[in-house]
Amino acid sequence: MTATRSPKITLIGAGGYVFPFRLIGDVLSFPALRSAQLCLMDVDPGKLAPVADAARKLVAHHGFDAQVVETTDRREALDGADFVIITFQVGGVASYRHDVEIPRRYGVDQTVGDTVGPGGVFRFLRSVPAYDAIAADALELCPDAVFINYANPMAMATAYLNAKGLRTVGLCHSVQGTTRMLARTLDVPYEEVDFLSAGINHQAWVLRFRRDGQDLYPRLREVMNQRHVVGRAAADLAGDDGDHSEAALAASTYEGGNEQVRTTLMNAFGYFETESSHHASEYVPYFRKDPEMVERYVPQRWDYYEICSAHDDQGDIDTQLARLKQELAPSVEYGASIVNSVVTGVPSVVYGNVPNATGVIANLPADACVEVPCLVDRNGVQPTAVGALPPQLAALNRTNVNVQTLAVEAALTGAREHVLHAVALDPLTAAQCTLEQARAMTEELIEAHADLLPAFLRG
């Protein structure tokens, strides 16, 4: 991108649920990006049109020069792009249903099913043909573009896109969401907190949490153990106080109000994890062995498939548009700040998912995709070396890295058996299934997703 022209920012999967339009609002929150070309691409024109229409209304309301282009043509979207943001889920809710319902019949109950486990593995695998097509076109049409991946499973998808030759950083909101929740829990102003987090996506660790040089962990352990007692009834959970702003997640069921799992993990391994207790319970073998155990640790169910099945696209877009017309300010997401820093040279620090090939985290494998603080400026996204994690944290991360790297290896090499290996080595699956059951579940998932999977899994 030259300094004399406005950037072309492409969103692939722009017709998705809620998130793409929020990113458009984030982009337009930065003055340097208000004359950008926003190229919105989706394979479903019916889902794309309302997002593009809302984007044009937002641009017109604020009097910006941004150009909004909508297309179903991937090559048109990628041609000359400076930034490419990926937000899609191949197969949509219909495929997602298989990801959660088939494993549940084998005793593998995933509250989300998009990170590791059978759900994460197959969400990744059915996206591989799309990633291959994007990579082939991008290397021809925009080889220098910065790719920003928001699609789950974050580690698998980001690792694969980098392996295909695209400069990709994966972004999530777990780190900024969790650290804000912890600051609210301790009644500490967030802007005064000094923290460091590192690990892998959805299983990173808050390694440092301080204020004015004072370690806040002793008080955090005390408060969390007082509030989040294992076996507490759902009726005793922290209630919703009616404030649904991004600054008020502490009262939600998802994050802050139901933290027996993360508190137990902190007690055992020493540090707080960056993904919610609901989601975190999927990644380890300790909390979901039977319904009674789930009730003790996660007494109020949060089911993302059910949420996705029930959502109202147009209502969500209209609500966001009204809010962004009143106040155009960036959310906690990092994507637009990356674009702004690359365009303007004004540095920022984000938590990004990047290859560990250079040993950013010294005691995780080189083929892992890790989540670490990154400096962003005109030179792009530059990971900072964290060194070695506490050994128990690295060991726990490696149980999930095993699943991720085997799934990516299957996609890169066409080795069908590695799909079974990835599923069978998932900690929750291993806690629930025999190898024969893991194979049967894997084959059932292959059959259910057959039309969307890479060629090596269709035979």
> What are the catalytic residues?
173
CA distance 158 to 167: 9
Enter the DSSP assignment of 95: H
Pairing label, strands 214-215, 203-211:
antiparallel
For residue 425, give the nearest of 415, 436, 440, 435 by alpha carbon: 435
Q: Kindly calculate the radius of gyration of the chain based on its CA atoms and give it in whole angstroms.
A: 21
In the numeric block, which tokens belong to residue 187?
């009644």
Dihedrals φ, ψ of 282, to 5°? -80, -20
Q: How far apart are CA 429 and CA 347, in angstroms?
A: 42
Count the neighbouring beta carbons within 10 Å of the beta carbon of residue 231: 9
Judge residue 202's burial from the number of C-beta atoms within 10 Å of its C-beta, 0-12 exposed, 13-18 middle, 19 or more buried.
Answer: buried
Residue 421: both structure tokens together: 């290996």
Query: End-to-end distance of the chain based on CA atoms, in angstroms?
Result: 43
Q: On the CB side of 91, how many CA atoms lie within 13 Å of its CA?
A: 22
d(CA 428, CA 268): 18
User: Do 43 and 77 touch, CB atoms closer than 8 A?
Assistant: no
